[in-house]
Amino acid sequence: MRSQPTALSIGEFGRLAGLSIKALRLYDVSGLLPPAEVDEPSGYRRYTADQLDRARRISMLRRLGVPLAAIGEMLALSDAEAVTRLDRWWAGEDAAMEARRSSYLWLRTRLAHGDDPERDYAVRMERRSGRKVATIRAQVDQQALVPAIGTAQWAIRAHLDEQGAVHGPEHWVVFHGLVTPDTEATIEVCVPCSGPVEPSGEITLRLEPGRLLAYAEVLRDDCFYPRITAAYEAVHQHVTTAGLVAAGPPREIYLNHWERLAGDDPFCRVAQPVEE
């Protein structure tokens, strides 16, 4: 005869799972973790040891800040599907944090360097080989620019991971029009990649041709509007003075050093493709 699993009181179960009684009651009401049985006269909840794995997963997801509704979705999936759902949630959190970080950096830079003179930018030339890129296009104004870049970049990277493609830390943003606080334009966020990968939804694939670029390196503290426009002006002046012809819209090439708040290392390159 098969023995019944040992019933645990809510206090015993909570200690083993690392959850408070209050949390267990919340997860019961929300349907995430109902007890194995409830004593009708007393209302005492009883759990079993085979519920511990689910409880510990819920606990870890809550520590990450995952909403209850999203936790319910993940628990209903297979482990492989739950990984994909968790990755997408995490990418959204990264994008939201990057938007907050951008606002913080903008304010910090204005306070710390508001009276500084504009920098002089040295313009260099570089020849880049052709590469396959995964891209997303978006219509944005200046306020929506940074959040849109972060959201698109991490959506692309999550898709490339799902497909088993290889991608490095670099990405760039092509500006198909002038983005200002008062005007919207189309941007194209690009992540270079290699290996088998298919387009999906708003994510498209194309071959970025080999290009000769005129570029200026920009520090983190200067990488905000309107201060960054000085780098664009320096690149444009160099191209004009040298008698070069633009071969496409300008772009900002990021090294993905999002954690750097300041310093003397370049954060991005403002670049203009030119005809060879």
Give the CATH number for residue 136.
Answer: 3.20.80.10
219 backbone dihedrals φ, ψ, rounded to 5°: -80, 160
Q: Does 53 share its domain with 176?
A: no
Within 31-154, strands assigned E span: 37-38, 45-48, 123-128, 131-140
**How many CA within 13 A on the CB side of residue 105?**
22
What pLDDT score does 261 carry? Answer: 43
Q: Are residues 235 and 126 in the same domain?
A: yes
- pLDDT tens track for 101-159: 766 766 776 677 666 666 789 999 999 999 999 999 999 988 888 888 888 998 999 99
User: pLDDT-derived band of residue 260, with 50, 70 and 90 as boundaries?
Assistant: very low
Q: Quick check: is 87 in a domain?
A: no
Gap between the Cα atoms of 53 and 89, Å rounded: 21
Q: What is the rounded average pLDDT for all residues in the chain?
A: 87
Q: Is residue 95 domain-resident?
A: no
Q: What is the pTM of this model?
A: 0.59
- φ/ψ of residue 116, rounded to 5: -70, 145
Same structural domain, 150 and 23: no
User: Which of 14-23, 161-170, 193-202, 224-233 is predicted with the least confidence, judged by mean pLDDT?
Assistant: 224-233
Residue 253 tokens, joined: 């090439």
Domain carrying residue 193: 100-274
Question: Looking at the structure, do residues 149 and 251 belong to the same domain, yes or no?
Answer: yes
**Same domain (yes/no): 141, 183:** yes
- Count the Cβ atoms, other than its own, within 10 Å of residue 130: 10
CA dihedral 91, 97, 100, 105 (to 10 degrees): -110
- Specify whether 215 is located in the same domain as 111: yes
Is residue 177 in some structural domain? yes
Mean pLDDT of 174-179: 92
Same domain (yes/no): 160, 214: yes
For the cut 50, the answer to whether the pLDDT of residue 18 exceeds it is yes
59 and 168 share one domain: no
Does residue 184 sit in the same domain as residue 269?
A: yes
Tell me if 94 is assigned to some domain.
no
Distance CA 33, CA 50 (A): 12
Both 244 and 110 in one domain: the answer is yes
Q: Mind listing the pLDDT tens digit for each residue in 31-40?
A: 999 999 988 7
Question: At residue 73, does pLDDT exceed 70?
Answer: yes
| Number of domain units in the chain | 2
- Whether residues 222 and 106 share a domain: the answer is yes
- Please enumerate in sequence order all residues whose Cβ is within 8 A of that of 213, keeping only pairs 6 or more positions apart, or say none: 125, 126, 127, 128, 269, 271, 272, 273, 274
Residue 55 sits in a domain of what CATH number? 1.10.1660.10
The answer to whether residue 23 scores a pLDDT higher than 80 is yes
